[in-house]
């Protein structure tokens, strides 16, 4: 595959520097072999996350200068509301400082002592934590194919409708707070959900009178996959696809730090007046007034403009193909990655990359640390450290997927930099048996992966 041609040119650059081998060895040791604890200045190519790391356009920066910083009724809020209506088709919008702010609101609104089960197509760390902190649980109802890195199902993010219905019958619909559907499922490898699946989830939930809330964070990338892979959508525009997708939900939470192409911002959007009313009540307690939700006016303007740019088809084609370009270079060299290649990231299968390590030696954490030490490239563990412990038994959970994520920031790195990343991983793979396991020596209570510390098992 040829590298995709960028639909933009570069106006501002930010220098990067590769530390020496000794400096990198020292830096990762000092960071407790946790890539979250590295200083960003010590990183050469930063693939830790695609969240909040996008390059904004000249149009977005120009919008920042038009920030209306009034406490109430900023014009930028109305611009954001209009952009959400146009791009996603929801009527009501409540801004929040980022995605988890919106997750907090929807969890507080829809979860209570009696109704506290939130089935979802795989968990996401922050989403699951909000549910659990309210005494609830998040059972996984994704299709089995999603747990197999080798399976090439085109819509590996789909909900298993039988699993979902079985669960509803087992616990009783009155126990389900809402059904959560994530677009382009992050923990499964950036895998899309099909339109057909969304439609069927809606039908099932209508039958049992359940609310459906999307995590629409990566919905534009999901829409691109629908256009590319689902029959009947080849000739529809991304906006048409997005509107149809959202029509199958009662509302969504959205971290605009991904497809929204901003460094900070998020929102809750809905057509449901009751949810909207309650969200407005809660946002003033936890985030800020309902017309700014913890954001500056300029942030809302950048978000309004970013939302439109992120749903532009020419941009999306380049975006998805850049991720695919990196993934295919790795595949060609037999590096074990999650297939098909996802929307926002390439995921290494750490269990296959490091078959000599035990699960208790945290292979994905060890691999992420080794990649940094070897090449200066920063990635993120997405396996047992991220999954955490079972709250009831206190035991570590070892999920089937033990992955290292190479998340690609949007519009930030060139294809030459992707080639450097691929070459580094390929070289490291040839020396993989020299990579040692890790011992966890500090474990924070909540979302431990952010601050956990490790030592090398020599």
Q: How far is CA 446 from CA 77, 136, 298, in A?
A: 33, 15, 32
Q: Decide if 3 contacts 325 (C-beta within 8 A).
A: yes
| Catalytic residue status for 449 | yes
Q: Catalytic pick from 35, 125, 291, 379?
A: 125
Q: Which two tokens stand for residue 82?
A: 């209009």
125 contacts ligand P71 (rule: CB under 6 A): yes
What is d(CA 241, CA 183) in angstroms, rounded to the nearest whole number? 13
Q: Which of 160, 215, 272, 299 is catalytic?
A: 215
Q: Is 58 a catalytic residue?
A: no
Q: Is 215 a catalytic residue?
A: yes
Residue number closest to ligand P71, CB atom? 99
Residue 267: name the closest of 278, 254, 277 by CA. Answer: 254
Residue 276's SS3 state is helix
Decide if 382 is catalytic: yes
Q: Which is nearer to ligand P71, 168 or 377 (CB)?
A: 377
Based on the shown chain and the rule CB under 6 A, indicate whether residue 365 belongs to the binding site for ligand P71: no
Q: Does 217 bind ligand P71 (CB under 6 A)?
A: yes
Among residues 44, 123, 124, 372, the one annotated as catalytic is 124
Q: Looking at 24, 156, 218, 258, which residue is catalytic?
A: 258
Binding characters for ligand P71, 13-52, by CB under 6 A (x = yes): ------------------------------------x-x-
Site for ligand P71 contains 100 (CB under 6 A): yes
Give the residue from 206, 222, 51, 220 showing the smallest Cα distance to 121.
222
Query: Nearer to ligand P71 by C-beta: 60 or 217?
Result: 217
Catalytic-labelled residue, pool 227, 319, 382, 410: 382
CA–CA dist 245, 224 (Å, integer)? 12
**Three-state secondary-structure class, residue 125:** helix
DSSP-derived 3-state class of residue 381: strand
Residue 290 interacting with ligand P71 (CB under 6 A):
no
**Residue-wise over 72-89: b if at least 16 C-beta within 10 A, else e?**
eebebbebbbebbeebbb
Residue 182 interacting with ligand P71 (CB under 6 A): yes
In the list 145, 215, 299, 309, the residue contacting ligand P71 (rule: CB under 6 A) is: 215
Counting contacts by CB under 6 A, is residue 271 touching ligand P71?
no
Tokens, residue 2 = 């040829």
- In total, the chain counts a number of residues equal to 458
Q: Does 257 bind ligand P71 (CB under 6 A)?
A: yes
Q: Which residue among 54, 98, 349, 365 contacts ligand P71 (CB under 6 A)?
A: 98
Residues annotated as part of the active site: 71, 124-125, 215, 258, 382, 449
């Amino acid at each position: 595959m040829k590298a995709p041609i960028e639909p933009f040119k570069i106006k501002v650059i930010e220098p990067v520097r590769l530390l020496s081998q000794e400096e990198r060895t020292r830096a990762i040791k000092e960071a407790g072999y946790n890539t979250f604890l590295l200083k960003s200045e010590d990183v050469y190519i930063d693939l830790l996350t695609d969240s909040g790391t996008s390059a904004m356009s000249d149009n977005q920066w120009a919008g920042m200068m038009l920030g209306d910083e009034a406490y109430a009724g900023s014009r930028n809020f109305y611009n954001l509301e209009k952009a959400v209506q146009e791009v996603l088709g929801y009527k009501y919008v409540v801004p929040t400082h980022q995605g988890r702010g919106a997750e907090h609101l929807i969890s507080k609104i829809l979860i209570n002592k009696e109704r506290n089960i939130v089935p979802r197509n795989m968990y996401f760390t922050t989403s699951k934590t909000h549910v659990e902190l309210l005494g609830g649980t998040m059972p996984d109802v994704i299709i089995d194919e999603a747990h197999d890195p080798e399976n090439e199902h085109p819509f590996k993010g789909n909900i298993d409708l039988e699993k979902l219905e079985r669960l509803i019958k087992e616990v009783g619909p009155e126990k389900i707070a809402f059904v959560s559907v994530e677009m382009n499922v992050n923990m499964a490898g950036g895998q899309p959900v099909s339109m057909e699946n969304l439609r069927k989830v809606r039908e099932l939930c209508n039958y049992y009178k359940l609310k459906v809330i999307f995590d629409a964070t990566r919905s534009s990338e999901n829409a691109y996959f629908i256009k590319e892979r689902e029959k009947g959508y080849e000739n529809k525009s991304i906006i048409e696809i997005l509107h149809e997708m959202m029509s199958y939900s009662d509302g969504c939470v959205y971290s605009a730090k991904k497809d929204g192409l901003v460094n900070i911002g998020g929102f809750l959007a809905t057509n449901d007046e009751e949810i909207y009313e309650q969200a407005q009540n809660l946002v003033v307690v936890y985030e800020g007034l309902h017309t700014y939700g913890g954001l500056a006016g300029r942030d809302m303007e950048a978000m309004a403009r970013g939302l439109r740019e992120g749903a532009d088809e020419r941009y999306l084609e380049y975006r998805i193909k850049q991720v695919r370009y990196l993934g295919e270079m790795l595949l060609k060299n037999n590096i074990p990655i999650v297939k098909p290649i996802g929307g926002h990231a390439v995921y290494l299968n750490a269990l296959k990359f490091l078959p000599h390590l035990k699960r208790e030696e945290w292979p994905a954490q060890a691999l992420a640390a080794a990649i940094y030490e070897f090449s200066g490239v920063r990635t993120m563990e997405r396996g047992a450290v991220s999954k955490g412990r079972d709250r009831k038994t206190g035991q570590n959970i070892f999920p089937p997927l033990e992955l290292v994520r190479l998340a690609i920031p949007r519009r930030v790195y060139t294809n030459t930099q992707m080639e450097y990343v691929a070459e580094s991983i390929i070289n490291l793979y040839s020396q993989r048996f020299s990579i040692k396991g890790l011992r966890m020596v500090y474990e924070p209570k909540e979302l431990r992966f952010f601050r956990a510390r490790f030592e090398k098992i020599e």
